[in-house]
Structure 1
Amino acid sequence: MRQCLRDKIISVCDAKIAQKGEGVGLSFYAFFANRNTDPTLLMEAAEWWIKTHQLDHFEKAVKIRDMVRAGQ
């Protein structure tokens, strides 16, 4: 996964957690304004989320942030 996507995921997760608490969930769509913003990067996030890690549609932001920080 590209570093710019890793940085974006961590930033969005941190903001959602600060806003709604540690129990907040999100999907990989949360990292994009809409699906047409950057389709290549969206597909990279989707592949990481669905294919690589087989995550549910909604996951806890804390879990996603920690996975990305750990380099998974």
Structure 2
Amino acid sequence: MRPALSAKAISVCDEKIAKKGEGVGLSFYAFFANRNDDPDLLMEAAEWWIKTHALNHFEKATKVREMIKSGQ
């Protein structure tokens, strides 16, 4: 995952956790606006989420954040 996407994903996870608590879940779509303005970046996130790590559609934000921070 490219550094800009990693930083954005961690920021989104942090925001969700701050607003809704440690148990909040999210999907990779949370990292993007409601429009598909960067399909390559969206596909990169989808591949990391689905193909590389076989994550469920919704995962705990804390889990995703830690995976990204650890370089997985």
Q: What TM-score range do you get, normalising by the shorter chain?
A: over 0.9
Aligned residue pairs, count: 72
Q: Give 5+ residue unaligned stretches, structure 1.
A: none
Alignment root-mean-square deviation, CA: 0.7
Q: Give 5+ residue unaligned stretches, structure 2.
A: none
Which residue does the alignment assign to 1:34? 34
Which residue does the alignment assign to 2:47? 47
Give the deviation of 1:38 after TM superposition: 1.0
Moved segments of 4+, more than 3 Å: none
TM-score by length of 2: 0.97
Could you tell me how far apart the structure 2 residues matched to 1:34 and 1:42 are?
Answer: 11
Could you tell me how far apart the structure 2 residues matched to 1:58 and 1:20 are?
Answer: 15
Identity of aligned residues (%): 76
The aligned runs of 1:1-72 (5 Å cut-off) are: 1-72=1-72
Could you tell me how far apart the structure 2 residues matched to 1:35 and 1:48 are?
Answer: 20
TM-score by length of 1: 0.97
